[in-house]
Structure 1
Amino acid sequence: MGVTSDARVVWQFLNGIAAIYKPAGYSLHRTRNTILTHLCRDLNALEGRPQREYVRIEGETDKPMTVQVVPNLADHLLLTGPHYQQKDFKLSWVNYLGYDTSGVVIIGINEGARTVMRMRESNPTRFYKVKGVFGQATDNYFTSGKIVEKATYKSIKRATVDAICASMQASHQRKMFELCGVDMQSQAAYELAIQGPIRPANNKIPMIYAIKCVAFNMPEFTLEIACINEYEMYLKTLVHQLGIQLHSVATCTQIQCFRYGLFTTELALLKKHWDVQSILDNMEQTQAILDNNKYLVEQDSPTLIEQQI
């Protein structure tokens, strides 16, 4: 969108979806309030509608009277307050990221809230980078918790970690076919698999399509996970379970959602760019991506998921 100084014109264009980058240690509700505060600030700094006027007739009724058009003081900014306030906006999100998770969040503003609902129903694949550390366990499975257990980790090898990850992935693949009621070795399973990622009917069941260790520098490690229906504690628990299966303990130290469906961190706006002009430009980019992909068509076939992970 081109630069304009008229707040009314800008308001009309604030209808669509945008991709933002939520930092860790920042709740999504606080993120929403921050974005709305910045939008209100920027809109109110632009030229708003002019103060309305009214016709005032003065003088005695038995003599010629004066007619004047004067500003309506009841419409003065000091009385009405800012023209744009947070309650004037509709803002909702597609994917929910927990307090300790950073990454891509897709938001819908005003009319974009309808698109948000359709995107939730499409339930696209999410990609995460999850970091952990071996040798310690906390009461909340995250590095911010109190250490409740320590264990040795020198015997853990990269090959063993890869084997456990492969086992987890295979277990979830079997579970997907079991939920569909088909034998994994049957022709029906093959025909089901080539249609794309299998999604459980219940959107509350977490499902992992791929999990791989991409960095291993003892005692620290990094996993890349492609999944749906996940939530923050579930990802933390995966790290905890990995430590147990390796006859040690592990704690999650960082969670980042680096891709949500068609949208990656390269498109997401950092906190310093949560302003009107940046969000309007981002809306144009996200709409172009949706248009080029036939509006929310899921691209993530099993092959593409493996390529991403």
Structure 2
Amino acid sequence: MTQNYGELTYPEIAGQSEALQGAWEQLGKQQEFITNYLGNKKYEEVVFIGSGTSYYLALSAASTFRKWTGRSASAYPSSEIYLFSEQAVAGNKNKLLVGISRSGESSEVILALDSVKGKPEWTTCGITCDVESTMAKNVPCLVSPLGKEKSTVMTKSFSSMTFMLQVAIAKAGGQQGYVAELQQVMSLSADTVTRGQVEAKNMIDTHSELNKFIYLGMGTYNGLAHEACLKLKEMSCVWTESFGTLEFRHGPKSVIEPGTMVCVLLSESARAFELKVAEEMQAYGAYVVLITAEKGEDTSFADLVFEVGGSSLSDEARAVLYMPLVQYIGYYTALREGRNPDSPRNLTQVVKI
């Protein structure tokens, strides 16, 4: 390994359990935000926006919001609201716009929030990791205090903001059962981080033939699959794609051949269907990785099964437990390719336009 490669990214992936705890504690001080915004039923549509990783976080947040509150929610890239808001969201609805940005400085998020300012049908708020950021000064924000990062690539910031939004959504919906589930997730997190590092390193070190990487997920895990793909692409510049698990069978599976890793973020809700897809891909020559709550006879065919625990928890609550393994896969693939995960090609920590 080239000296100093990954010196920022590695401890940030490793530090996400502490970041979850920090988000939990901070949220205890921000109940007024939950009451005024996410829990306020006057909003007929809650619109989550972000760019890049933050957009994938928005996808998962909107999915969780719909399931846990029974209310309408959607997710869009920030630019869609800034440039195409009338095509994205019906104009006659009373809407809450939730901006998501690690730095709070992403131009597209700020432009989107500013673009609806003063319009009576829109209210704005956000979530960030920087309390001193432009976004945090412009709109009321949840703040993940330990999510801030030095590396270009988002890792613990993604996990901590995902977790923080989930706790806020559970509280907004009066779902104390989900709040309790998320408290259990905190207790499982450190172990998944530790084991994720070991499993990812071993897989990349012992399978140099892997040159295509595909991530599949459904429901709340669809956004996670896209984020897993982006982590690998950003850090290592290898060929990678992401799809809905069953959608992958409708054409894209033609790319499968020996040397392809297919990682399925396995839900309990659709477990049997998703495992059929995984078995089919293995038959075509794929190296199959399953991330799941619990191993079983039905997963024994896979090349690697990574258990996160929490089989009694909802799929949505387990979301952040799926991230350490895929983040470390991106990290170790970058090192294998001779690339520095801290400084991806062509990228900066804050994207401005």
After TM superposition, the score normalised by the length of structure 2 is 0.23
Flag the structure with higher helix content: 2
Structure (1 or 2) with the greater strand fraction: 1
The structure that has the greater radius of gyration is: 1
Higher relative contact order (CA 8 A, sep 6+): 1
TM-score, structure 1 normalization: 0.26
